[in-house]
């Protein structure tokens, strides 16, 4: 099964480990992520002001390109997923904006593409039971904090991937991989997002709250689905360790990297060298590798 | 705190403009405070989300425009998620930002962004940050 795939700018560069580990894991469970022949940045933020139609033209172009390659488009980055899915809804439901956008990008796109997250492909098209069957290195005894962040879940009526207050899709996946998911209070809270550009104190505090909250509930590892969450958490790690007694840091990895481990993929192909904390001592301690 | 209310401020064209840009009806808010409770950055805001709504209901745009609240908002939509009336304070704050940005006034200067950040940050942080802080 081939599914058209939109990597987005960050996965093509800084977060190459997210992209590569996802492609390898996809193949291990029986689908291929077919990168769109032509794509551009999605804009990295869905305009919250509805009069800003210009902000929808870039994601509309991506969606229009995707419609020429199939009826489904999958993506990994939470922000790309959020922007593409919400833009698609506007194009589908709002005729006036649809005509305006199509006129500008010189396309005739009607919003018919189904935007799905990689997690949804695993849950709804492959099935977590099939993922479980493909596990070669069960993540037995590994306590994993499931960090959803904001953009994967909100706004709930547009995203609909899971319950927006008490999501379980990550937990269900991790159970299939043999790990012990750790539920923690800050799993759907913000990491500080774009405040990384000029207000590091906010990022340190918010990301710190996420990490200490997860570790406080017993997490030995945190998984993310967004390169900005990954960056903010990793960047705040040492400062939080200095400020918080009893907190020594926790490895942060993309959820696809840990899937790759569980599915028995080559550990050198999963891009762990790009992560700030080394996850290998933990995996060795647990007898997973 | 004493404030003087004026009918012409409450019904001003600027208030109508904020409602039009943000797509939100300011009068929907009944001040339950769920947004301020759920907001992860209300601790850093000079005026927390629920009070932003109240100031604007009373036509006090200037107070909100002077405060740091709109620039501190992370756009996580927790306010909207928790609002029993379906109001998105995040959209209202984006509308407030747009009032400034659309005049060509930047909140952050690109030349002030530290070089190590530009070199290492994910592109999405820069694209998103520019859209939120730069005209």
Q: Strand runs (DSSP E) across A86-220, as ranges?
A: 114-117, 143-146, 180-182
ipTM of the complex: 0.96
Q: Are the Cβ atoms of A49 and B22 closer than 8 angstroms?
A: yes
CA distances from A13 to A17, A44, A128, B124 (A): 9, 15, 29, 11
Domain boundaries, chain B: 7-103, 108-135
Helix or strand or coil: residue A5? strand
Residue that has been written with the tokens 């805001």 in this structure:
B45
Domain boundaries, chain A: 2-119, 134-285
CA distance A118 to A106: 29
Q: Write the residue in A9, A50, A150 that is nearest to B76 by C-beta.
A: A150
Eight-state DSSP code of residue A183: -
Q: Are the Cβ atoms of B44 and A196 closer than 8 angstroms?
A: no
Best probe of the A interface among B34, B125, B126, B130, by most A CBs < 10 A, is B125
CA distances from A141 to A23, A70, A164, A275, B34 (A): 26, 40, 27, 22, 38
What is the CATH number that goes with domain B7-103? 1.10.1060.10
| Signed CA dihedral, B16, B131, A230, A60: sign only | positive
Eight-state DSSP code of residue B110: G
Q: Are the Cβ atoms of A154 and B133 closer than 8 angstroms?
A: no
Domain A2-119 is of which CATH architecture? Up-down Bundle (1.20)
Q: Are A233 and A145 in contact (CB under 8 A)?
A: no
Crossing angle of helices B89-101/B49-57, nearest 10°? 70
B41/A contact by beta carbon, under 8 A = yes
Q: Are the Cβ atoms of B123 and A44 closer than 8 angstroms?
A: yes
CA distances from B90 to A69, A189, A286, B98 (A): 35, 15, 43, 12
Q: Looking at CA atoms only, how far is residue A195 from chain B in angstroms? A: 7
Domain A134-285 has CATH 3.40.50.11810: yes
Instruction: Encode chain A (289 residues) as per-residue pLDDT tens digits.
Output: 999 999 999 999 999 999 999 999 999 999 999 999 999 999 999 999 999 999 999 999 999 999 999 999 999 999 999 999 999 999 999 999 999 999 999 999 999 999 999 999 999 999 999 999 999 999 999 999 999 999 999 999 999 999 999 999 999 999 999 999 999 999 999 999 999 998 999 999 999 999 999 999 999 999 999 999 999 999 999 999 999 999 999 999 999 999 999 999 999 999 999 999 999 999 999 999 9
């Amino acid at each position: 099964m081939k599914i058209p795939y939109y990597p987005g700018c960050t996965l093509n560069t800084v977060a190459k480990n997210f992209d590569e580990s996802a492609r390898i894991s996809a193949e291990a469970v029986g689908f291929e992520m077919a990168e769109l022949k032509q794509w551009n940045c999605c804009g990295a933020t869905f305009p919250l002001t509805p009069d800003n139609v210009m902000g929808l033209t870039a994601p509309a172009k991506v969606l229009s390109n995707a419609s020429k390659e199939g009826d489904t488009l999958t993506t990994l980055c939470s922000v790309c997923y959020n922007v593409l899915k919400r833009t698609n809804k506007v194009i589908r439901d709002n005729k006036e904006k649809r005509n305006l956008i199509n006129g500008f990008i010189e396309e005739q796109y009607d919003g018919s593409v189904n935007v799905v997250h990689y997690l949804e492909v695993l849950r709804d098209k492959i099935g977590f039971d099939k993922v479980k069957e493909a596990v070669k290195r069960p993540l037995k005894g590994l306590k994993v904090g499931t960090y959803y962040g904001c953009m994967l879940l909100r706004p709930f009526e547009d995203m609909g991937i899971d319950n927006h207050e008490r999501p379980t899709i990550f937990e269900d996946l991790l159970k299939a991989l043999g790990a012990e998911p750790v539920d923690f209070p800050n799993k759907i809270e913000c990491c500080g997002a774009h405040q990384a550009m000029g207000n590091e104190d906010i990022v340190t505090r918010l990301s710190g709250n996420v990490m200490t909250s997860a570790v406080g509930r017993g997490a030995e590892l945190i998984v993310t689905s967004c390169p900005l969450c990954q960056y903010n958490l990793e960047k705040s790690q040492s400062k939080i360790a200095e400020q918080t007694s009893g907190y020594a840091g926790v490895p942060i990895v993309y959820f696809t990297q840990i899937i790759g481990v569980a599915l028995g993929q080559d550990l050198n192909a999963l891009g762990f060298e790009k992560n700030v904390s080394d996850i290998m001592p933990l995996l060795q301690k647990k007898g997973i590798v | 705190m004493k404030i003087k209310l004026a009918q012409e401020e409450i019904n001003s064209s600027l208030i109508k403009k904020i409602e039009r840009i943000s797509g939100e009806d300011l009068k929907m808010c009944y001040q339950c405070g769920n947004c301020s409770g759920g907001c992860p950055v209300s601790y850093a805001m000079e005026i927390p989300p629920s009070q932003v709504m109240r100031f604007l209901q009373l036509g006090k745009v200037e107070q909100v425009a002077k405060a740091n609240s709109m620039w501190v908002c992370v756009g996580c939509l927790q306010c909207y998620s928790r609002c029993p009336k379906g109001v998105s304070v995040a959209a209202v704050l984006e509308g407030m930002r747009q009032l400034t940005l659309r005049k060509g006034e930047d909140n952050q200067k690109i030349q002030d962004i530290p070089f190590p950040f530009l070199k290492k940050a994910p592109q999405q942080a820069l694209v998103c940050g520019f859209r939120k802080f730069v005209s």
